[in-house]
Structures are given as C-alpha cells and as structure tokens.
Amino acid sequence: MNRQPEAAPMRAWLIEPLPPDVAQSVERLCRAEDVRHVALMPDVHLANEVCVGVAMATERLIYPAAVGSDIGCGMAALAIDADAELLADETTAARVLSGMYRLIPSIKHSREAVPEKLPDCSHDAPLSDSRLEKLKDRDGRFQFGTLGRGNHFVELQADEHERLWLMVHSGSRGMGQAITAHHLRKANADGHRDRLVSIDAESAAGQGYLSDVAWAIAYAEQNRLAILVAMERLLAELFGVAAIPESLIHSNHNHVRREAHQGQFYWVHRKGALSAAADEAGVIPGSMGSVSFHVIGRGEETSLCSSSHGAGRSLSRGEASKTINVRQLEREMRGVWFDHRHAAMLRDEAPSAYKDIHAVMRAQRELTRIERQLRPLLSYKGI
C-alpha cells in the first residue's frame, strides 16, 4: 500500500476561506516531493498547476509551475515632477492614450521600431537551447518594450499629495512562456499526472533552467524600464514634464532563487508573490479602478519574507466575462480615464473581478508596511 507523502508546513494570510479547488491545489503542492514550506498570500487564487499568490521553499528540486510561465513579471513605479491636475480633462487623457498606443504596443513593435540588439540581459548569456536563442533574436526583439495582454497595464496615478506617478506591470512576454514550455517538455514527469514536474537544481537540466530564468528576469526588468522610458518621452513631448529617477521602485513577483531562511538555504519559488524582506521596497497594485500601494517589507520569516503581488482575482476571466457587462465596468471605472472603445474586451479586468485591495492589505499587516497610497487617474491595458 502506497503511503501519501507527509505534507509540508503551511502558513496563510487570508481574507476568506479557501475555495475547494484552491485548497486541493495547495494540498497537492504541500505534498510534492522536497517541498519544505508553503506560504499563502491573501491574493491567492487558482491557476494552472500551482496557484497564484504562493511562496514555497525546496532544498533541491525546482518546480517551474511554482514560478509560472511569465518569468520575471513584476512592477515598476516612478514619480513624475507634475501634479494630478495634468490629467484633468478628457481631451488631455485622449492625447496621452493615443501616444501610449503608438509607443507601447501590447504585442509587438512594427519592424521600424524594433531594436537592432537587445539590452544586456544577464550579461548577454546564451540561452540553454539553440531554438530559444533563435526566439530571442526574433520574438525577443520584436516584443521588447511591449506591454502584453491580460492584467498587464500602464497607469498614471496620484499619491496623497497629488504627485503624479507612473506604474507599469509587465513581464518577460513570449520569451518566458517559451522558456517554461521548453523545460517542462524536457523534464521527466514519470507518467504520474497527479505529480508536479520538477527538475533537480544540481543537474545539467536544472542549471540550464536556472540560467534561462535569470535571463528572462533580466529581460523582463529591462522591458519595464523601456516602457517607463517611452512614457517619460511621451509626457515630456506633451507637457514638458520629467521623471524623478531616484523615486524608482522596481521588483518582480515570479521567480525562483536561493535564499536563507531561519538558518537554512532553500530554493524559494514565488508565483504571484512579492519578495518582502526587511526594509525591501515593493509595489502592490489594486485593480484598474482601485487604489495601489507602495510598501516596505517586514521580513516575516514564516511567509518566506513574501507578500501579495496585488489584489488577486475573485472571479476567473470566464466568470467575469459572463457576469460583468459594459455598463457595470464603466460604472466601476468612473473617475478613471480609459479607452471606452475597448470596454467589452476589458470586462474580465473590471474592479469587481478582483478582491478588495484594502482587505488584502489588512490581512498582511505582518508582512508589509504601507508607505504610500495611490489612486488611478488613467489606465492603459493591452488588447
């Protein structure tokens, strides 16, 4: 008789009981081989294989599903030397949105705008497979500086003092997906569908995956910075205002890396979880119609020094599309400029499809300290 593996210890910071499907997914993760600790963030919700809003620690094995396919996805925030009054009228907002469509496409740049060479990503290290290298030169260049779809966005926001801020949420685009798919195909799942695919970190396959992850994280970081530069250029052209470079906050929430916790080294996986080490700065967005936060980590060891990466979905995209109509979206977005022509396509990103960000922040007071609250003024989503 086969005995079920003993479950790893788990800590949770939740705003509501776990739905049965989420609880089942978490139980599976806790019983996966070599998993030593699991932490659930208040934005936890169902996703492929491993839920979003999870941090976990292993000693030897790497689980690509606990990183996610958008490797290095994260947030960047940058203050602008201007007041919120800059976006006071519809004509001005329309000019900004028009410029964003031109400079920051959602999928790929036109051939004329593609960079000849990518910026230095992890010291320009070659990827582990020649097919990935070919994708780097093709998709990597054409998608560099683009936003992506889904919940990726650029927002103009105002802080409590009416200072204007930029916020960008984007990742490694198609490159992260290609890297993840490549390594999952290579990994041996030994025919058991109920087991998560893992890779030994000390093996050649594990070293190849970790090297590719480092490259994808660097690519995602450079991608966000390129979007910020495009926005700086646009705001300078339209209004003659400039960014404040020293205000930059930049972090990612999809990664695996070696960290020490309670005197022992682990491979810490974060999927939709922000690193929140003591005094570490981070960004936690709400929905496209609710406030966001700049935070400082408290270094809570039982959370693996992690926090939520956002509000977290309360409705799946399918559920949101079925239950939220255009009129409801527009009502929830009152006071925030966005492109109403695409309202039907944005229903699954409506504020009511997400958890209450204030409840999320209250649930994780042990994990982060709020430094700044920002309200959205203009929201740009890829379509």
- Catalytic status, residue 250: no
CA-based end-to-end distance of the chain: 52
Q: How many residues make up the chain in this entry?
A: 383
Q: Where are any strands of DSSP class E within the chain?
A: 10-12, 35-45, 52-58, 61-62, 74-83, 153-158, 163-170, 199-200, 249-252, 254-261, 264-271, 273-275, 281-284, 292-297, 306-308, 368-381
Distance CA 38, CA 26 (A): 9
Distance CA 270, CA 255 (A): 5
Element (DSSP H or E) covering residue 30: helix 20-30
Choosing from 37, 45, 253, 309, the catalytic residue is 309
- Beta bridge pairs of residue 163: 83
Distance CA 8, CA 188 (A): 23
Alpha-carbon distance values, 242 to 12, 29, 156, 165, 344 (Å): 42, 46, 14, 11, 34
CB 71, CB 255: distance < 8 Å:
yes
Helix boundaries (H) for 86-158: 90-103, 130-135, 141-143
Distance CA 192, CA 190 (A): 6
> Kind of pairing, strands 35-45 and 10-12?
parallel
Write out the catalytic residue numbers. 309
